[in-house]
Amino acid sequence: MDNVKETIESLRKEIDEHNYNYYVCNNPTISDREFDEKLALLQKLENENPQYFSAESPTQRVGSDISAGFTQVEHRYPMLSLGNTYSIAEVEAFYNRVAQGLNESFEIVAELKYDGTSISLTYEDGKLLRAVTRGDGTKGDDVTANVKTIRSIPLQLRGENYPSSFEIRGEILMPWSVFEKLNYEREQQEEALFANPRNAASGTLKLQNSSIVAKRGLDAYLYYMLGENLPSDNHYQNLATAASWGFKISPDTKICHSLQDMIDYINYWDTERKNLPVATDGIVFKVASLKQQKALGYTAKSPRWAIAYKFQAEQACTRLNYVSFQIGRTGAVTPVANLDPVQLSGTIVKRASLHNADIIESLDLHIGDMVYVEKGGEIIPKITGVDTEARMLLIGDKVKFIKNCPECGTPLIRYEGEAAHYCPNDTGCPPQIKGRIEHYISRKAMNIDGLGEETVDTFYKQGLVKDIADLYTLKVEDISPIERMGEKSAQNIIDGVKASLNVPFERVVYAIGIRFVGETVAKKLAFAFKNIDTLISATKEELIAVDEIGERIAESVISYFSEPRNIELIEKLRDFGVQMQLSEDRISQFSETLKGLSIVISGTFEKHSRDEYKAMIEQHGGKNTSSVSAKTDYILAGDNMGPAKLEKAQKLGVKIINENDFLNMIEK
């Protein structure tokens, strides 16, 4: 063996060991910097010596940016769901059914029910062969490329004596800390937030770009092994053996010898789960013996030898200290409860949303009240009730919704049919002004590098930027003297502003911040009206005629362009060179070939990606829809079309076309 190959193999082994210590054992033995240096050296050596490539190398966990649709794979063993219960009485009934069904002694394995997305991993000769989602329980999506990026899932098993082929199932999770960070980043970019870690993990696992998956910090716990030559007839022992092969198995799995053991386990984790770094939503009880599992068998939907006990939504009681009121870029006022810190769903909660005046009134809140706070896996904690029995004689004032903007003092208004209050002073209220600038520079809008929330705040306070048009008047000499800026940072900002002049018209429509006009609606408006002048003069009827534009959006667009100051702003941007119309190249690509047609895309394709086909449908005047209905005109079907969509299409008589049919349609 030559020295380079020896070094590469040694580094792979060493890095794999460090990955195992860090991600599985939670016990790192070297610093992050030392680890990064070793990984960088291995990457360098592999790049220089491609003859020594290995799919199991730690360097392959970064994923690929090549998009490819998921193929569906049939499960060798169906992935059934478990029967759920929310009461200890039903757990007792399960225990008694098992005792009656077996008529012999048995043990129960108690496991935490992690709140993620189910996965089935197949290993052959110690190497990860395939990773498949639950799907419909019979077939699932092959997400192997994405799963290989998860560092707690071994690509090559450790030790010896593992079966030549077996399957192990578990849960892909997003830890609370990663979830909070991801949602913060999405909020800064004005992207839709994930509702909870489960949705975030599921959405991440189905991304077409595994290099993005690699950056999302997913984790995994494995909980059940299947195959012909398993190490033991005992489920608990199989998990212990799997842990020795490098799998991440929950350390909180326990053998229960009686019903009382099961109840004790429930009572302990009903409180202690709040301290876990990942979301849980219950406990799973399984008969330990595989032989006894087989004897008990299955119902049509679930095994008779297992049951899931679901926790109630997490709730904590803490003191309300005061209520603050925040102003967003649209002028909407959000009341926020400021609380004594309390632990909830793996994080410390100090604030909770009160949403609007009606909710405050319905809760009958007083300063100093002990309030019930619920998170239940959701993004923002909410107050669900008040412990009125805990009220003291010296309770504080009743919480009342403010009448004036806390930032500029303007009397608030409430539009008919809306729950929120608004500050109408959109030209003089600082949070609204700064919010519009932050929206304009965001990634999905004008994407101006070098600018962020803090920089905008600084520029506003120093009088450099009072509206979005002022960004185009900035000079290096204005910015460089500012603390922590310097000439290089200043030049980067100027370059970023200049580059925004090339941003296409549809993103400009989104960036100017018309109320209710999000990224998709902005694109629809830009494609329908082609330039800003036509959009400005559009009537309500013309706006509503555009796909997905309803009365509320149409009225908002008309209202925005009826303000002289907004027209003045548009003219300033036009003078600076901001794109105010679709380019000739873009216009030439449009047609009305598919006008009025509703098309559903299903399956995987060879010639173009699903996103490319969606763009083509819009480009030629068609409408993308996600579900099949009587209004669907065509289904563009690739390989592995969803069986439910196929069945519904046949039932409704919807025409199914393939890639070639579709491309021929738009060519004509």
pLDDT at 59: 82
The residue that leads in pLDDT, 449 or 457, is 457
Mean pLDDT of 60-89: 75
pLDDT at 52: 83
Asked whether the predicted pLDDT for residue 74 surpasses 70, the reply is yes
**pLDDT tens track for 225-262:** 999 889 999 999 999 999 999 999 999 999 999 999 99
The closest alpha carbon to 63, from 143, 131, 149, 126, belongs to 149
Mean pLDDT of 264-271: 93
pLDDT band at 540 (very low <50, low <70, confident <90, very high): very high
Averaged pLDDT score across all residues of the chain: 88
Q: What is the DSSP letter of 82?
A: P
- For residue 516, the Cα-to-chain-centroid distance in whole angstroms is 22
pLDDT at 48: 83
Which residue is listed with tokens 């052959």? 124
Asked whether the predicted pLDDT for residue 89 surpasses 90, the reply is yes
pLDDT band at 405 (very low <50, low <70, confident <90, very high): very high
pLDDT band at 512 (very low <50, low <70, confident <90, very high): very high
pLDDT at 531: 96
- What does the alpha-carbon distance between residue 622 and residue 593 come to, in Å, rounded to a whole number? 8
Asked whether the predicted pLDDT for residue 391 surpasses 70, the reply is yes
Mean pLDDT of 41-57: 84
pLDDT band at 107 (very low <50, low <70, confident <90, very high): very high
Asked whether the predicted pLDDT for residue 66 surpasses 70, the reply is no
pLDDT at 608: 83
- What does the alpha-carbon distance between residue 74 and residue 61 come to, in Å, rounded to a whole number? 25
* Fold of domain 315-390: OB fold (Dihydrolipoamide Acetyltransferase, E2P) (2.40.50)
Strand partners, 72: 141
Report how far apart, in Å, the C-alpha atoms of 7 and of each of 50, 326, 526 are: 14, 57, 57
Same fold? 430-502, 505-588: yes
pLDDT at 69: 60
CATH class belonging to 3-62: mainly alpha
Strand partners, 325: 335
**pLDDT tens track for 159-195:** 888 999 999 999 999 998 899 888 877 766 656 678 7
Percent of the chain with pLDDT over 90: 51
**pLDDT tens track for 278-289:** 989 899 999 999
pLDDT at 65: 43
* Fold of domain 74-310: D-amino Acid Aminotransferase; Chain A, domain 1 (3.30.470)
Percent of the chain with pLDDT over 70: 95
pLDDT band at 83 (very low <50, low <70, confident <90, very high): confident
Residue ranges of E strands in 47-158: 72-74, 84-85, 108-114, 117-124, 127-133, 139-141
Q: What is the CATH number of domain 598-667?
A: 3.40.50.10190
pLDDT at 250: 95
Asked whether the predicted pLDDT for residue 67 surpasses 60, the reply is no
Q: Which of 202-216, 326-340, 482-496, 521-535 has the lowest mean pLDDT?
A: 202-216
Asked whether the predicted pLDDT for residue 300 surpasses 90, the reply is no
- What does the alpha-carbon distance between residue 131 and residue 146 come to, in Å, rounded to a whole number? 9
**pLDDT tens track for 51-60:** 888 878 888 7
Asked whether the predicted pLDDT for residue 4 surpasses 90, the reply is no
Asked whether the predicted pLDDT for residue 641 surpasses 80, the reply is no
Domain ranges across the chain: 3-62, 74-310, 315-390, 430-502, 505-588, 598-667
First to last CA, the chain: 61
**pLDDT tens track for 606-619:** 888 777 788 788 88
DSSP one-letter string for 151-214: TTS-SB--SS---SEEEEEEEEE--HHHHHHHHHHHHHTTPPPPSSHHHHHHHHHT-S-HHHHH
- The set of catalytic residues is 113
Q: What is the DSSP letter of 377?
A: T
Quote the radius of gyration of the chain (alpha carbons, Å).
Answer: 29
CATH superfamily for domain 505-588: 5' to 3' exonuclease, C-terminal subdomain (1.10.150.20)
Mean pLDDT of 337-358: 86
Asked whether the predicted pLDDT for residue 17 surpasses 60, the reply is yes
Mean pLDDT of 352-364: 90
Mean pLDDT of 120-130: 95
Mean pLDDT of 642-649: 78
Mean pLDDT of 448-477: 93
Architecture field, domain 430-502: Orthogonal Bundle (1.10)
